[in-house]
Homo-oligomer: A and B are copies of this chain.
Amino acid sequence: MNPDIQTWIDQLRSGDVRTLARAISTVENRAPGWSELLKALFPHSGKARVLGLTGPPGAGKSTLVDQLARFYRRGNDNDNDKDKRTVGIIAVDPTSPYTGGAILGDRIRMQEHFSDPGIYIRSMATRGSLGGLARTTADVTTVLDASGRDLIMIETVGVGQDEVDIVRLADITILILVPGMGDDVQTIKAGIMEIADIFAINKSDRDGAEHVEREIRTLQSLAMRHDGWTPPIVKTIASQGVGIEELADAISDYEAYLQKENLALHKSVENWQERLIEMLRDALLEKARTQLGDGNLARLAAEVAEHKRDPYTLVEEIAARLTR
């Protein structure tokens, strides 16, 4: 192994936050050595519990995630050290590149937890990662996992296919809803409702919390989960710290259920089937791009745009030529 990478890994595993930040950037930007780094880190990963938290814009996801992080940093009972967990947070923000909101929010949140090196927050911008955001998030999760964080929380706005793919990475998925968003359940991306292991109704002191709960119950009655788990509904007011312990309890319950039914490994195998296919797709595409060359691609695209060639036949021909 590259000696540099071995040094990185040693520093990373010793808890050095600057090395962690650098390793994540390397992976996120596909900077030189990213692939070697991931290969070397993978054997150290697999110990962290991964929570995925998603919901519509304005549901108070960041506040809830911050409160949960604080809760886990305090530990669950009187024996403070026993349940205390180190936390990594990956915030995937669909913020415009104009406003730089992701980076700003990142800094503000980091400052809040500044005194506690046991909480590490990283924002990921969605721009520029055409279809690859879920993959990058997965890779960053591997880095955080290998660095020894006990708990990794991935928060994202639950509105697109990317976001569904991202929360799919998690061992436990929490869908955060809020009262008074009208047809909020309906603006949530198809597929998100189905994968929620736990529902949190945040800002539950607002009018309409019961209505949201009834809506969830109705949807639940329409479709049974394969694994027999009925996702509990927890009411929270994250800004006041209300319901955080109950939410953590619900998380524990589901963790115990996963353990008892041996579902965690099963879920992981399913996830890896998806991820391997995605990784293979990217690897093949990379090869295709290289072999095709930008000049060729531009020429072929022009022929198709001018309707001199049909793209469907063309792609079949290229694929046949590239593979054996």
- What is the interface of chain A, defined by CB distance below 8 A to chain B? 35, 38-39, 42-43, 45-46, 57-58, 94-99, 101, 125-127, 130-131, 133, 157, 159-163, 165, 182, 185-191, 193, 219, 222-223, 265, 268-273, 275-277, 279-281, 283-285, 287-289, 291-292, 297-298, 300-302, 304-307, 310-316, 318-319, 322-324
Q: Chain B residues near A160 (CB, 8 Å)?
A: 94, 159-163, 189
Q: Distance (Å) between the CB of A100 and the closest chain B CB? A: 11
- Does the CB pair B285–A126 fall under 8 Å? no
Contact between A283 and B315, CB atoms less than 8 A apart: yes
The answer to whether B279 touches A281 (Cβ under 8 A) is no
Beyond A269-B305, A271-B305, A277-B288, 7 extra complex contacts between A and B, CB < 8 Å: A35-B316, A159-B159, A276-B301, A276-B304, A277-B297, A280-B315, A281-B288
Would you list the 3 A-B pairs with minimal beta carbon distance, nearest first?
A: A160-B160, A272-B301, A283-B319
Asked if B39 contacts A126 (CB within 8 A), the reply is no
Pairwise interchain contact B275-A285, C-beta atoms closer than 8 A = no
A314 CA / B185 CA spacing, docked (Å)? 40
Decide if A311 touches B125 in the complex (CB within 8 Å).
no
Shortest C-beta distance, A30 to chain B (Å), equals 12
Please tell me if the beta carbons of A189 and B94 are within 8 angstroms of each other in the complex.
yes
Query: So how many copies of this chain end up in the complex?
Result: 2
Q: Do B287 and A101 touch across chains, with their CB atoms under 8 A apart? A: no
The docked-state distance in angstroms from the alpha carbon of A97 to that of B323 is: 37
Q: Is the CB of A285 within 8 A of B283?
A: no
- Which residue of B has the minimal Cβ distance to A191? B127
Among B35, B219, B269, B284, the residue within 8 A (CB) of A323 is: B284
User: A193-B98, A315-B279 are contacts. A305–B272 as well, Cβ < 8 Å?
Assistant: yes
Residues of B within 8 A of A101 (CB): 186
Contact yes or no, A159 B281, CB < 8 A: no
What are 28 A-to-B residue pairs whose CB atoms are below 8 Å? A35-B312, A38-B312, A42-B312, A96-B193, A98-B223, A101-B186, A126-B161, A126-B190, A130-B165, A265-B305, A265-B306, A272-B300, A272-B302, A272-B311, A273-B298, A276-B301, A280-B288, A280-B292, A280-B315, A280-B318, A281-B281, A281-B285, A281-B288, A283-B316, A284-B284, A284-B322, A287-B319, A322-B324
* Chain B residues with CB below 8 A from A159, complex form: 94, 157, 159-160
B323 touches A57 (CB 8 A): no
Chain B residues within 8 Å of A291, by CB: 323
Expressed in whole angstroms, the minimum distance between the Cβ of A44 and any Cβ of chain B is 9
In the complex the two chains form, what is the Cα distance from A147 to B252 in whole Å? 56
Q: A223-B98, A272-B304 are in contact. Are A39 and B313 (CB under 8 A)?
A: yes
Assembly CA distance A270 to B306 (angstroms)? 12
Q: Quick one: which of B39, B57, B223, B319 contacts A284, CB cutoff 8 A? A: B319
